[in-house]
């Protein structure tokens, strides 16, 4: 897998995986709260049943005076743990206070937490596998298109290399036999095409940037020099303040 393919895959996988994982985390939070609420309702029902026979060893019981802050219909936290309050028969001034110790309540809560974590891990690995499959599947057409483009680029590089090399060799040989300005222009044009060929080859092989500091004015003069020879009637003038660039020369 090449660099750009790996980058596209990681971005696609990351966005898809994180989005689904965030959604799963929200669902897990709701599920945990719902399970906790269901457990508290079940405990409250068991406490109410306990007030009829007092046969459960999980609860403790006490009698407390009536208080307006007491909620008769829901489980409430108290100093001893979690408590339920139930009206005593034949009286309206006192309540049964049924107590579930905090340690036992924490054990039940921890069991729910482990259950949610187990389910969450199953969902996590399912999302991971699905995201991997989706990323490979989604990028397959792009990978196929890039492969065709690479093959075209490879053929183009090969087709450019042969004639450009031939032109350069023959113009140099002719220049030795009979130097002329026309041959020099042909050679400059061939070198420009050769430079393009090298750039295409670098892209095909995976372009590695090589940063260096260059002086902008000198760089422009060097780049303009071949055009000056190709087009003698044109004159290039640069009026620049001193400026240095830190970049890859071949990328400019």
The chain-wide mean pLDDT, for the chain, equals 82
Is 249 in a helix, a strand, or coil?
A: helix
Cβ-in-10-Å burial (0-12, 13-18, 19+) of 138 comes to: middle
Task: Write out pLDDT tens, residues 92-126.
Answer: 788 888 999 999 999 999 999 999 999 999 999 99
Q: Which tokens sit at 24?
A: 């799963």
Q: Which tokens sit at 34?
A: 């719902």
Cβ neighbors of 173 (< 8 A, separation 6 or more) are none
Whether 181 and 171 have beta carbons less than 8 Å apart is answered as: no
Mean pLDDT of 55-68: 85
Q: Between helices 181-205 and 102-177, what is the axis angle to 10°?
A: 160
The pLDDT assigned to 91 comes to 74
Query: Which residue matches tokens 């890859």?
Result: 248
Q: Is the pLDDT of residue 146 over 80?
A: no
Angle at CA of residue 65, ends 60 and 67, nearest 5°? 110
Strand partners, 97: 62, 85
Q: How confident is the model at residue 3 (pLDDT cuts 50, 70, 90)?
A: confident
Cβ neighbors of 66 (< 8 A, separation 6 or more) are 92, 93, 94, 95
Which range among 45-49, 61-65, 167-171 shows the weakest confidence by mean pLDDT? 167-171
Alpha carbon distance 159, 153 (integer Å): 10
Is 52 in a helix, a strand, or coil?
A: helix
Q: Closest Cα partner for 98 from 117, 119, 121, 75?
A: 75
Is 212 in a helix, a strand, or coil?
A: strand
Q: Is the pLDDT of residue 200 over 70?
A: no
Q: Is the pLDDT of residue 1 over 70?
A: no
Mean pLDDT of 24-48: 93
Q: How confident is the model at residue 72 (pLDDT cuts 50, 70, 90)?
A: confident
Q: Is the pLDDT of residue 248 over 80?
A: no
How many separate helices (H) and strands (E) can be counted in the chain?
4, 6
* H or E segment to which residue 172 belongs: helix 102-177
Whether 228 and 188 have beta carbons less than 8 Å apart is answered as: no
């Amino acid at each position: 897998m090449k660099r750009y393919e790996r980058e596209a895959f990681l971005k696609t996988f990351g966005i898809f995986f994180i989005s689904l994982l965030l959604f799963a985390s929200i669902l897990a939070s709701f599920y945990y709260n719902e399970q906790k609420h269901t457990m508290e309702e079940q405990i409250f029902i068991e406490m109410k049943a306990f007030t009829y026979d007092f046969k459960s060893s999980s609860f403790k019981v006490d009698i407390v005076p009536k208080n307006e802050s007491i909620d008769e219909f829901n489980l409430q936290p108290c100093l001893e743990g979690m408590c339920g309050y139930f009206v005593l028969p034949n009286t309206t001034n006192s309540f049964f206070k049924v107590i579930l110790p905090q340690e036992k309540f924490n054990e039940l809560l921890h069991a729910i937490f482990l259950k949610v974590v187990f389910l969450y891990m199953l969902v996590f690995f399912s999302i991971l596998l699905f995201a991997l499959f989706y990323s490979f599947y989604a990028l397959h057409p792009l990978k196929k298109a890039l492969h065709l483009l690479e093959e075209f680029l490879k053929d183009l590089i090969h087709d450019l290399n042969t004639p450009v090399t031939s032109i350069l060799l023959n113009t140099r040989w002719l220049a030795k036999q009979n130097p002329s300005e026309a041959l020099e222009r042909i050679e400059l044009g061939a070198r420009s095409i050769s430079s393009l060929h090298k750039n295409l080859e670098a892209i095909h092989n995976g372009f590695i940037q090589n940063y260096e500091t260059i002086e902008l004015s000198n760089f422009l003069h060097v780049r303009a020099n071949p055009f000056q020879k190709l087009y003698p009637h044109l004159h290039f003038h640069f009026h620049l303040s001193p400026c240095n660039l830190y970049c890859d020369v071949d990328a400019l």
